[in-house]
Amino acid sequence: TAVVAVVVGGVFGGPPAARAVQDHFATRVPVHPVAWAASHAAPKHEPKLAGDGYSNTWWGTGYAGDSAGQYLEARFAEPTDLLSLLITPGSAKNTTQADGQATPQTFDLVVKDAAGELHVSHHRINDGGTQRVDLRVRDALSVQLVLRTAWRADPRKQVAVAELEFFGRSVS
């Protein structure tokens, strides 16, 4: 019954429904940005450190408090179908061992596609540990993570992101 419902939904729902079914069952593969940028960064904590593959290096906003409005941006070499991302908030994979930097609590993801359209989604994550965020945007050229609020925001701490990892659909 479920298979029939999926097939009928794909046929009568048109291409968006068919793509949603494809995305759901797709094998996810890593997608690597070719460039990183940020609205601001702390010395020795530049944007590219959020995509270096190490959870003990990190991008820091360089501003104390919740850093609302500051962003981290990843750019891709060619249009990419994104399905999800993994975010490791803070200055280390295990925040109990972290140096006490603040971590994102709520943020917007602003994805620009090849047609110039912006896809904005709002997210809230837990304080610590790697977490998955679903995206599902076709032909993405860039992704901005725009900070809104932070866990443990403090006048002596900055918001940190240890890793952002992107995943798309396998082409095989």
- Whether residue 13 has pLDDT greater than 60: no
- Encode pLDDT of 77-94 as tens digits: 999 999 999 999 998 776
Which pLDDT band holds residue 19 (cuts at 50, 70, 90)?
low
DSSP 129: S
Q: Residue 10: which residues within 8 A CB-CB, separation 6 or more?
A: 17, 18, 21
Q: Strand locations in 58-157, DSSP E?
A: 59-64, 71-89, 103-113, 118-124, 131-151
Output phi, psi for 17, to 5 deg.
Answer: -70, -40
Residue with tokens 């280390």: 92
Q: What local confidence, expressed as pLDDT, does residue 22 receive?
A: 54
3-state SS of the chain: helix, strand, coil percent to 5?
A: 20, 50, 30
Rounded mean pLDDT, 101-114: 96
Q: Residue 77: which residues within 8 A CB-CB, separation 6 or more?
A: 34
- Encode pLDDT of 21-71 as tens digits: 555 556 789 999 999 999 999 999 999 999 999 988 999 999 999 999 999
Rounded mean pLDDT, 121-150: 95
Domain 30-169 adopts which CATH fold?
Jelly Rolls (2.60.120)
What is the Cα–Cα distance from 62 to 59, expressed in whole angstroms? 9
Which pLDDT band holds residue 170 (cuts at 50, 70, 90)?
confident
DSSP 8: H
